[in-house]
Amino acid sequence: MTVHTPIYLDYSATTPTDPRVAEKMIPFLTEHFGNPASRSHPFGWTAEKAVENAREEVAKLVNADPREIVWTSGATESNNLAIKGAANFYSGKGKHIVTIQTEHKAVLDAVRELERVGFEATYLAPEPNGLVDIEKFRAALRPDTVLASVMLVNNEIGVIQDIETLGNICREQGIIFHVDAAQATGKVHIDLEKLPVDLMSFSAHKTYGPKGIGALYVRRKPRVRLEAQMHGGGHERGLRSGTLATHQIVGMGEAFRIAREEMDLENARVRRLRDRLLTGLQEIDEVYVNGDMKQRVPHNLNISFNFVEGESLIMAVKDIAVSSGSACTSASLEPSYVLRALGRSDELAHSSIRFSIGRFTTEEEVDYTIELMKSKIGKLRELSPLWEMHLEGVDLSKVEWAAH
Amino acid sequence: MQTATYFDHNGTTRLDSRVLERMLPFMTEQSGNATSRHSAGRTARQAIEQAREQVAAAVGAYPSQVVFTGSGTEADNLAIHGIAMANGVEQVLISAIEHPAVSRPAQALQWHGIKTGLIAADANGVIQPAALKAAISGATKPVGLVSVMLANNETGVIQPISELTEIARQHKAWVHTDAVQALGKISVDFAELNVHAMTLSSHKIHGPQGAGALILDKRVDIRPLLYGGGQEKGLRSGSENLAALVGFGMAAELSTSGLATRREHMEKLRASLEQGLAELGATLFGARAGRLPNTSFFAFDGIEGETLVMALDRQGFAVASGSACSSDSTEPSHVLMAMGVNADLARGSVRVSLGYANTMQEVDAFLLTLKGELQRLRKLTAIAV
């Protein structure tokens, strides 16, 4: 079997829409085009029924009540609604928020916006393996803390946080607990009947659904209240106004149904491929895996290649589509803030690559990638004076560089 | 039932097959994240920039003035909340006939200590320049933001935006207009309207649901609603809805090509419709004002709007009894209330909004059915009394 390049290994940035999902969406772009808010004719009713079926599918994947699912335009909006909505609603009880330095920008920037309007925030550093220390988390909480936000799965390094323990601590202290699960659906089993989580953000396009659609889980018992961020026709029980994009909602429902039915088999297959990739890449000298390998989703591998320069690395591996940070910040040349929060040096952060494997990745593609990396890293290091010094046994951390 | 005649184009529209064709590749194989720098990401980026050019061209704006959002509602919220909050606005004025996507965020500004006042409509549903002047002089604080829609979703009445803008600008206020219902039905020119911000929506112009835009004069400071990855120059974070934006771009382009022909066609159908409605004794709202070519908003004395709409639906005609967003409530239309229409008559209101694919046969069949249903309902009412 031949390999077609570029090979897509960036499933954490976005996933291709599953053909079964696209097929299900198309009738809702054509004959069933109604506005689900139209109550006076069957065009509207058909759309509304499809929206409610999809809501059930999303709820089922995470064992929630469909009435707890609010549609949004994506995880960014879900995170903004959860964080700003809950913080503002409960601001009478206090104005302190706890989150983690390695959260997605959509969480960090929403918290920063709250800081601008009078809230205080603690950005907790994770341990070097990317996981949150439970005791440090507990210590960061204050009597005036109203909200904590911790992601279930990190987008760059794929580590899985102990949401259950963190949530129980929040619950003991009456703190609203939000979890960004955009990277987790279809990879990690989520049971919101058991998990002490109040708000959870979801995205469709990270789980083989369409872009432009997401959801926020809002717990009913005990009831969590939010201040709406988008006002208008009063859709989604007033929590999020705006005409619902029926075809996208249908797509998200189908994507989450497929995830529920196939995730165990798929994760086993993807994990084998990821481990094959890891074994292959570890034959290269001076490579460092970022993030814990045990508490980690099966499809993610984030590796730093020492003694190669970050940008030339990205240019050299054009045959594979990968990320050198999260897609949302890859337009900038700043080293990944996630890797820096783990204590990685700027050099290692710069020369890191996130490989994320998915539903359509083949063994041949993984093998091609291993060979490509071996050859390209070899060539880049041949050109690198630092690599030469390293081979000569010079400890580069002790070298004093002269200024020019 | 889906073969019914669709007369609810102000609610949503059927996707144009050419738009679907353009979208399909982006729903499947070409579905990169536009922020990624690899080739899949770059293809996505180029497609979005093309859509931005198409939307800009359709409304006489520059591509750099287009901020893509997830819906018209979101663009309205971004404009009202964002402009008021970023510029220290103390007083906002909106027209009394705005869509809730404008009026609700304007009301919500009170939590930030910002006042919102209403600009009155006249009996024809027009916001007259004199009404804006009166509202400005009646306000206790300097007016910082004015929002009046270009065309009303219920009556279809077109507002004198350029004149209103001139007055607002004399008072150093920012001006926003919701042009969601106007695009594709009349020509819309951002530069000519001279507003600072203008809302557009994809699904009202035979594009997909899930995309909208705020056309924004870059000199206006604006505070985002959504924070995160910094897409849309930081004004609207979130991975771009690639397929929907591509579809929106295509729909915007199609909405202006051949507009005159489509407009003429809809006007002809509507003239015939309204002649028939008059013969049946309907009261037509906003009849003496300039209106969109496709909209008729009317009522029959003594006939409940919801009842008539349901009866028409059973006969295969999809019409609305007000805006879709509030069509499950029995409150009389706030637009008609603002026009001083009697509440009982307002409860009888029915909206027919035509599309360019509707035919004269459909209009004739509708009038015939309507006549029969009216006779039946009047008999029932007579018995009840």
- Average of per-residue pLDDT across B361-378: 96
Question: Could you give phi then psi for residue A376, rounded to 5 degrees?
Answer: -70, -40
Record: contact A330-B203, CB cut-off 8 A: no
Helix ranges restricted to H, A117-245: 134-140, 163-172
Pick the closest to residue A243 from B212, B285, B71 (CA basis): B71
Record: contact B229-A318, CB cut-off 8 A: no
How many CB atoms lie under 10 A from the CB of residue A284?
16
- % pLDDT > 90, chain A: 78
Closest residue in B to A80 (Cα–Cα): B226
Record: contact B244-A211, CB cut-off 8 A: yes
Could you say which residues from 357 to 376 on chain A have a Cβ atom under 8 Å away from some Cβ of chain B?
none
The pLDDT value given to residue A243: 87
Record: contact B228-A211, CB cut-off 8 A: no
Nearest neighbour of A243 by CB, restricted to B39, B71, B225: B71
- Average of per-residue pLDDT across B120-126: 98
Record: contact B327-A323, CB cut-off 8 A: no
What the block records as the tokens of B259 is 């507009």
Q: Which residues contact A58 (CB under 8 A, 6 or more apart)?
A: A66, A69, A202, A215, A252, A253, A256
The pLDDT value given to residue B1: 44
From chain B, the residues in CB contact with A42 under 8 A are: 1-2, 4, 313, 318
- Average of per-residue pLDDT across B301-328: 82
Could you say which residues from 218 to 257 on chain A have a Cβ atom under 8 Å away from some Cβ of chain B?
228-235, 241-248
- Which residue do the tokens 């913080």 mark? A87
Question: Residue A249: beta bridge partners?
Answer: none
In angstroms, the CA B332 to CA B345 distance is 9
The pLDDT value given to residue B99: 96
From chain B, the residues in CB contact with A44 under 8 A are: 11, 324
The pLDDT value given to residue A327: 42
Nearest neighbour of B36 by CB, restricted to A38, A248, A327: A327
On the question of pLDDT at B291 being above 80, the answer is yes
In angstroms, the CA A334 to CA A320 distance is 21
Burial of B331 (0-12, 13-18, 19+ CB in 10 A): exposed
Q: Which residues contact A207 (CB under 8 A, 6 or more apart)?
A: A15, A185, A186, A255, A256, A259
On the question of pLDDT at B60 being above 50, the answer is yes
User: What are the tens digits of pLDDT across the range A159-189?
Assistant: 999 999 999 999 999 999 999 999 999 999 9
Nearest neighbour of B33 by CB, restricted to A14, A35, A79: A14
Could you say which residues from 186 to 215 on chain A have a Cβ atom under 8 Å away from some Cβ of chain B?
203, 205, 210-213
Q: Rg for chain B (alpha carbons), in Å?
A: 21
The pLDDT value given to residue B108: 94
Pick the closest to residue B153 from B204, B213, B83 (CA basis): B204
Q: Between A398 and A127, where is the model more confident?
A: A127
How many CB atoms lie under 10 A from the CB of residue A290?
28
**Amino acid code (one letter) for B290:** G
**Amino acid code (one letter) for A97:** I
- Average of per-residue pLDDT across A346-361: 92
- % pLDDT > 70, chain B: 94
Catalytic site includes residue A170: no
Minimal CA separation from A392 to chain B, in Å: 36
| Contact indicator for B272, B68 with CB cutoff of 8 Å | no
- Which residue do the tokens 């989703």 mark? A297
A158: alpha, beta or left, given left = phi > 0 and alpha = psi -120 to 50?
Answer: left
The pLDDT value given to residue A36: 87
On the question of pLDDT at B354 being above 50, the answer is yes
Helix (H, G, I), strand (E, B) or coil at B322: coil
From chain A, the residues in CB contact with B230 under 8 A are: 105, 109, 328
The pLDDT value given to residue B324: 46
The pLDDT value given to residue B292: 98
Supply the mean pLDDT for chain B. Answer: 93
On the question of pLDDT at B331 being above 50, the answer is yes
Helix (H, G, I), strand (E, B) or coil at A289: strand
Closest residue in B to A322 (Cα–Cα): B38
| Contact indicator for B81, B109 with CB cutoff of 8 Å | yes
Nearest neighbour of A229 by CB, restricted to B11, B31, B225: B225
- Average of per-residue pLDDT across A354-361: 96
Record: contact B28-A19, CB cut-off 8 A: yes
The pLDDT value given to residue A332: 55
Minimal CA separation from A402 to chain B, in Å: 34
Q: What angle do CA B332, B334, B339 make, to 5 degrees?
A: 105
pLDDT band at B37 (very low <50, low <70, confident <90, very high): low
Helix (H, G, I), strand (E, B) or coil at B265: helix
Closest residue in A to B314 (Cα–Cα): A41
From chain A, the residues in CB contact with B323 under 8 A are: 233
pLDDT band at A335 (very low <50, low <70, confident <90, very high): confident
The pLDDT value given to residue A393: 87
Query: What amino acid positions of B are annotated as catalytic residues?
Result: 325
Record: contact A241-B32, CB cut-off 8 A: no
From chain A, the residues in CB contact with B100 under 8 A are: 231-234, 241
The pLDDT value given to residue B126: 98
From chain B, the residues in CB contact with A328 under 8 A are: 35, 228-231, 237, 239
Q: Rg for chain A (alpha carbons), in Å?
A: 22
Size of interface A-B (CB pairs under 8 A): 279
In angstroms, the CA A69 to CA A244 distance is 13
User: What are the tens digits of pLDDT across the range B73-113?
Assistant: 999 999 999 999 999 999 999 999 999 999 999 999 999 99
Pick the closest to residue A305 from A356, A374, A358 (CA basis): A374
From chain B, the residues in CB contact with A248 under 8 A are: 209-210, 241, 244
The beta strands (E) that lie in A113-247 are given as 120-124, 145-149, 176-180, 199-203, 214-218
Strand pairing category for A214-218 and A199-203: antiparallel
A22, A125, A284, A328: which is the annotated catalytic residue?
A328
Burial of A280 (0-12, 13-18, 19+ CB in 10 A): middle
User: What are the tens digits of pLDDT across the range B229-260?
Assistant: 899 999 999 999 999 999 999 999 999 998 99
How many CB atoms lie under 10 A from the CB of residue B379?
10
User: What are the tens digits of pLDDT across the range A373-384?
Assistant: 999 999 999 988
Record: contact A106-B105, CB cut-off 8 A: no
User: What are the tens digits of pLDDT across the range B184-222?
Assistant: 999 999 999 999 999 999 999 999 999 999 999 999 999
- Which residue do the tokens 């009913």 mark? A220
| Contact indicator for A119, A146 with CB cutoff of 8 Å | no
Which among B20, B23, B31, B67 is the top mutation candidate for probing chain A, defined by the most A β-carbons within 10 Å of its own β-carbon? Answer: B31
User: What are the tens digits of pLDDT across the range A290-311?
Assistant: 999 999 999 999 999 999 887 7
pLDDT band at A329 (very low <50, low <70, confident <90, very high): very low
The pLDDT value given to residue A398: 76
On the question of pLDDT at A233 being above 60, the answer is yes
From chain A, the residues in CB contact with B13 under 8 A are: 33
**HSE of B306, CA atoms in CB hemisphere, 13 A:** 13
